[in-house]
Amino acid sequence: MDQGVLAALKKRYRRKLLSSLILGMEEGYDLLSKLKKIDLLDIIGWLNQCWNELEPITLVCLWRKLLDHSGNEFFEKREDHEASNLIELMKKIPGCEDTVEDDVREWMDLDGASEPLGEDEVIAEKPRSREGRRRLRQE
């Protein structure tokens, strides 16, 4: 459930980010300048808007998906519609004119933070030296 809600929020957040970039370019900023102008207050405001925009049916579908894997057609159709909207937004950004649906889906699903670490990754993350373990404890 948590990952579904977070995924829905992240998708909406990314749409807000794209919209902000496009609006900035329409106001005369170049892409990099607009990215540098985005601050924590903007991000918190977008997250607040994204949470308020989540419809109850989205939460119901996410719960249903978690509980029994049935009745997800509505949610899947909404995701397809959101991907189409994002394609149109991305095509307005210089260098992204050739964006296709697969690119958008890959970007929307890009989230290494929600993926659990595998055994090999956990081992690689573990500090091997006494110094590394000591630094970890101090943090």
pLDDT by 10s per residue, the chain, length 139: 456 778 888 889 999 999 999 999 999 999 899 999 999 999 999 999 999 998 888 777 777 766 765 555 555 555 666 667 777 888 888 888 888 888 777 777 766 555 555 556 555 555 555 555 555 566 5
Counting DSSP H helices and E strands in the chain, the numbers are 8, 0
Residue in the structure block whose two tokens are 């110094």: 131
For the CA atoms of 41, 44, 47, 53, the dihedral, rounded to the nearest 10 degrees, stands at -70
SS3 110: coil
Instruction: Supply the pLDDT for residue 138.
Output: 61
> How many Å apart are CA 82 and CA 18, to the nearest integer?
13
Query: What predicted TM-score, i.e. pTM, was given to this entire model?
Result: 0.56
Instruction: Supply the pLDDT for residue 80.
Output: 62
Instruction: Supply the pLDDT for residue 20.
Output: 93
Instruction: Supply the pLDDT for residue 46.
Output: 95
SS3 116: coil
Give the DSSP letter of residue 28.
T
| Residue-range domain boundaries for the chain | 2-138
> How many Å apart are CA 20 and CA 37, to the nearest integer?
10
